Chains A and B, each alone.
Chain A
Amino acid sequence: DGGITQSPKYLFRKEGQNVTLSCEQNLNHDAMYWYRQDPGQGLRLIYYSQIVNDFQKGDIAEGYSVSREKKESFPLTVTSAQKNPTAFYLCASSRTGTGSGELFFGEGSRLTVL
């Protein structure tokens, strides 16, 4: 089955802890993205990567970090520097990174900071 897999689906974290969200795709897509979704705020871009070993900051990158060591994988780390980390996080991929192609989303990870 082709698609994007995010894990975990639900995650709880204490303040001051870093947490890493996993995103894996088997679609052979070049580009991968992380979005944050808050109620009434739409989808906001955190980081994106157009090719392996390269990634760029999106609109709300502060307090987050990523890596792209393999084409299939684009993990997101939410660091203790992120002031309001409780949110729903969506990973996505697209065949190319032109911004004019279909995005394929994972099922999301809901992070709650206690």
Chain B
Amino acid sequence: GENVEQHPSTLSVQEGDSAVIKCTYSDSASNYFPWYKQELGKRPQLIIDIRSNVGEKKDQRIAVTLNKTAKHFSLHITETQPEDSAVYFCAASKGRGADGLTFGKGTHLIIQP
């Protein structure tokens, strides 16, 4: 089955700096890569996703890049703010069934004032 590795497990950055979280996947058939954000005590929410027919997608301060050859994708957050502090999960799916979404173990992003 699919295996998704996520690094780092904890990331601390100064407010205003950029943060990058990286994920690798094992199954070359995976074609859908979402990112979820979970603030402390709250439910995970989708913040951005990318499909395998594009290499990059942006939404204001966040962007995701995908390298299909190397089988890795990354989340980039620019101009970090205190409200960006949360746990971020990457995931990968072949899009062939409800059981197909495999999550990484999460990255705890800490924004230092």
Report the number of A-B residue pairs with Cβ-Cβ less than 8 Å.
67
Which residues from chain A contact B51 at a C-beta distance below 8 Å? 100
Which residues from chain B contact A102 at a C-beta distance below 8 Å? 34, 46, 49
With A43-B89, A90-B43, A90-B44 known to touch, is A98 a contact of B105 (CB < 8 Å)? no
Shortest distance in angstroms between B78's beta carbon and chain A's nearest beta carbon? 23
Can you name the residue of chain A whose Cβ is closest to the Cβ of B33? A100
- Additional A-B contacts beyond A40-B9, A44-B103, A105-B44 (13; CB < 8 A): A33-B98, A40-B105, A42-B6, A42-B104, A43-B89, A48-B99, A49-B98, A50-B97, A99-B94, A99-B97, A100-B51, A102-B46, A107-B43
Q: How many residues of A contact B (CB 8 A)?
A: 25
Query: Using a CB-CB cutoff of 8 Å, which residues 15-50 of chain A contact chain B?
Result: 31, 33, 40-45, 48-50
Q: How many residues of B contact A (CB 8 A)?
A: 27
Chain B 39-51, CB-CB to A under 8 Å as 1, else 0, gives 0001111100101
Q: Which residues of A contact B (CB under 8 A)?
A: 31, 33, 40-45, 48-50, 56, 58, 90, 94, 97-100, 102-103, 105-108
With A40-B9, A42-B89, A43-B89 known to touch, is A97 a contact of B97 (CB < 8 Å)? yes
| Interface assignment of B93: CB less than 8 Å from any CB of chain A | yes
Does the CB pair A98–B98 fall under 8 Å? yes
C-alpha spacing A43/B102, complex, angstroms: 8
With A40-B9, A40-B106, A41-B105 known to touch, is A99 a contact of B96 (CB < 8 Å)? yes
